[in-house]
Amino acid sequence: MPLSSLFMAGRFSQMTSYFSLAYLAGFLPLTIIGYSIVPKKMKKYFLLLCSYAFFWFISGKLVVYLALSTLSVHYFGIWLARIQLQRDEELKHTEKENKKALKKCYLAKQRRVLLFAAVCSFGVLLYLKYTRFFTMNVNAVLAHLHLPLEFTIPSFLVPVGISFFTMQAVSYLFDVYRGTIEADDNLFRLGLFMSFFPQIVEGPICRYGETAGQLWEAKGISYANLTMGIQRILYGFMKKLVVADRLNPLIQTVFQNYTDYEGGVIAMAAVCYTVQLYMDFSGTMDAVIGTAQIFGITMPENFQRPFFSRSISEFWKRWHITLGAWFRDYIFYPVISARPMKKMTTAARKKIGNHFGPLLAGAVALFCVWLCNGLWHGAGWHYIFFGMYHFALILWGNIAEPGVKWVTGKLHIPTGHFLYRLFQIVRTGILVVIGELFFRAERLKAGFVMLRSMITDFHFTTLDKALLSKMGIDAYDLLIVGITLLIVLAISILNEKGIKIRETLAKQPVVLRWAVLYGLILFIVIFGAYGLGYIPVDPIYANF
């Protein structure tokens, strides 16, 4: 289902893309100018106002979901804080021997409130995003059983970014519950944390402790932050406009008509999609983090050169980092540290040893994480398969680790050697591409058909000028994509080696700095895929 038909109801829905003309040439500059003009005390309120205005522009009346979510989270946070306050007060007047029981009692109380709050937050998300999928599957089962019953498949307008702000809301409540942060009694500060416009569409999923304070501090715009922020936005613009959008026709054509193409072409499209997804999402993150930097806010990074990963497990520590961290902190740890899991680990350690013992409970927690990860990306069996695929790979990686160590040791394979590391990187890349193939496929069955074709029919006999033209691109497009990827690769290698390019560039003479910026802008203007004949790809992660 196209993004526009499911999400958004605002008049300026094109602003959902941070690279749209309306956003870059309209909303953002006006917000920067307004923010610079308003008095220091009012800046934070201005930012809040702009954030709500932005959400209203893209989502129209659906802004009410964001407002209600913020109100409820604020209320639940205060409720949790009150329980903690009551507990502390009572603890002061309680005998030492009774303190444990009292703490336990209050913990149970807090848990009930937290559970209720999480159910409320996730309930809305689940209802809006998954009722349709659930009903369709129920209908399929009923049809399979030849029962004369069919439920109407509902269709809802889902506000953009609901998955992102719901996760921020729940993380806030969890952190208040754990005592990591104090509940915020200021509704506006919490509101700004929940709605800050650059991150509301595609994240990153921020923690209250990381960004709320910075946002509320509302520093003025400094020249250094402004230029560095613009520079980062431009870098993201290049990734999106030159690579992601240019590859779009090829990907759309092959994935929609996969039965018409041989395995080699399908493999090429799967690689292109993986590149597109990375360029689109990381490019958007560059724009988000760059925009936040203009306002003096440091946002958490969401990508750390994921294609240099040597294992799937490492890949997910470098790709969509804030989502992975959220699942780790709020699903993996709570599941693995639950009492039955601890008992299971202790028993398993005794029977199967210190390596494999904890793996059992780890596998349960990992399963929960990857089921949620798959479902978070969308309501579809191919998403669930995508999650389970990564669950299986990571679990296998954990199980096989001692075996691999033993084999490499016995065969005297130098695991630190460049070639071995390159082999691991390529292997991880191939596994990622297969995962993304299922992720992008229209349905699970289509994913399997494409994978089978890649394995049994892998050749490029029909790949020529005519086929490229049929796929909506030409050799020049591939050339420019290749050059851009080389630029991104070179920058990534330098970053990986700890060389901070932007900081290094900032120290150079003004002529050189400007020349680099002019070059980047001209590169985007000339080689960007926009205008007549191009259809920009919808912000992919705004769908989730």
Binding residues for another protein (CB under 8 A): 14, 20-22, 25, 223, 474, 476, 510, 514, 517-518, 521-522, 525-528, 530-533
Of residues 455 and 525, the one with the C-beta less far from another protein: 525
184: burial class by Cβ within 10 Å (0-12, 13-18, 19+)? buried
Half-sphere exposure of 265 (CA within 13 A, CB side): 21
Taking each helix axis from N to C end, the angle separating 418-440 and 263-294, rounded to the nearest 10 degrees, works out to 90
Contact 245, 275 (CB under 8 A): no
As given in the structure block, the two tokens for residue 279 are 């360029």
Q: How many Å separate Cα 70 from the centre of its chain? A: 21
CB of 526 to another protein, least distance (A): 5
CB of 22 to another protein, least distance (A): 5
Q: Which residues of 319-343 are buried (b: 16+ CB within 10 A; e: fewer)?
A: bbbbbbbbbebbbbeebbeeeebee
Of residues 422 and 521, the one with the C-beta less far from another protein: 521
CB of 518 to another protein, least distance (A): 6
Of residues 341 and 537, the one with the C-beta less far from another protein: 537
Of residues 231 and 274, the one with the C-beta less far from another protein: 231
CB of 476 to another protein, least distance (A): 4
Of residues 19 and 315, the one with the C-beta less far from another protein: 19
Alpha-carbon gap, residue 494 to 8, rounded angstroms = 39
Of residues 423 and 514, the one with the C-beta less far from another protein: 514
CB of 465 to another protein, least distance (A): 13
Alpha-carbon gap, residue 263 to 452, rounded angstroms = 8
CB of 527 to another protein, least distance (A): 7
Query: Measuring CA to CA, how many Å separate 452 from each of 59, 214, 304, 456?
Result: 41, 50, 32, 6
Alpha-carbon gap, residue 149 to 167, rounded angstroms = 36
Alpha-carbon gap, residue 48 to 195, rounded angstroms = 7
Residues 6+ away with beta carbon under 8 Å from 371: 384, 387, 388, 391
Of residues 444 and 478, the one with the C-beta less far from another protein: 478
Of residues 12 and 79, the one with the C-beta less far from another protein: 12
CB of 221 to another protein, least distance (A): 10
Of residues 45 and 518, the one with the C-beta less far from another protein: 518
CB of 515 to another protein, least distance (A): 10
Q: Is the dihedral of CA 330, 333, 335, 338 positive or negative?
A: negative
Q: How many Å separate Cα 367 from the centre of its chain? A: 19
CB of 533 to another protein, least distance (A): 8
Radius of gyration of the chain (CA): 25
